Amino acid sequence: MNNEWPLWEIFIRSKTGLDHKHVGSLHAVDAAMAIENARDVYTRRMEGVSIWAVESKYIHASNPDDAGQLYDPANDKVYRHPTFYDLPIELKHM
C-alpha cells in the first residue's frame, strides 16, 4: 500500500528564459505545498523566477515505441517548412 504523498512534476522558468523547463519531481500533499517545496528544492541556486507544478498523474506522454509512426512521416515533407520565401535584405530578424 503506497503511503507516499502525491508526486508532482516541476517546471522552472529562469530569469532570462521564455519557457518553463522540467527540472524534476517532488512529493507534496497539495498544489500550495508543491509550489513551496519546488521553491525550496529547485530554486536554491537562483535557477528561476517562476514555478509550474503539475501532478504527475496529469502528464500524459507518448509511447517511445510509437516514435516511428508518430514522427518519421514528417521527415520528408520539406514543403511544410517556411523556407521558400525570398526575404528582403532589410528584414533582419525573421
Partner 1 sequence: MSTNKIKYVLQLADNALILGHRISEWTGHGPILEQDIAITNTALDHLGQARSLYQYAADLYNKLSTEEKQDFFASPAFINLEQTITEDTLAYLRDAWDFRNSLLVEQPNADWAYTIARSFLYDNYSFLLYSELKKSNDDTLAAIAEKSLKEVQYHLRWSSEWVIRLGDGTEESKARMQEALDERWAYFGELFIASEADKAMLVEGTAPDIESLRSTWDSNVAHVLDEATLTMPAADAWMQTGGKDGNHSEHLGYILAEMQYMQRAYPGMEW
Binding region for partner 1 (CB under 8 A): 5, 26-29, 32-33, 36-37, 39-41, 44
CA distance 43 to 12: 8
Minimum distance between the CB of residue 11 and partner 1, rounded to whole angstroms?
16
Q: Report residue 51 as a C-alpha cell.
A: 514555478
CA distance 21 to 49: 12
* Helix or strand (DSSP H, E) at 58: none
Q: Report residue 91 as a C-alpha cell.
A: 528584414
Closer of 53 and 86 to partner 1 (Cβ): 53
Closer of 46 and 61 to partner 1 (Cβ): 46
Minimum distance between the CB of residue 28 and partner 1, rounded to whole angstroms?
7
Closer of 22 and 71 to partner 1 (Cβ): 22
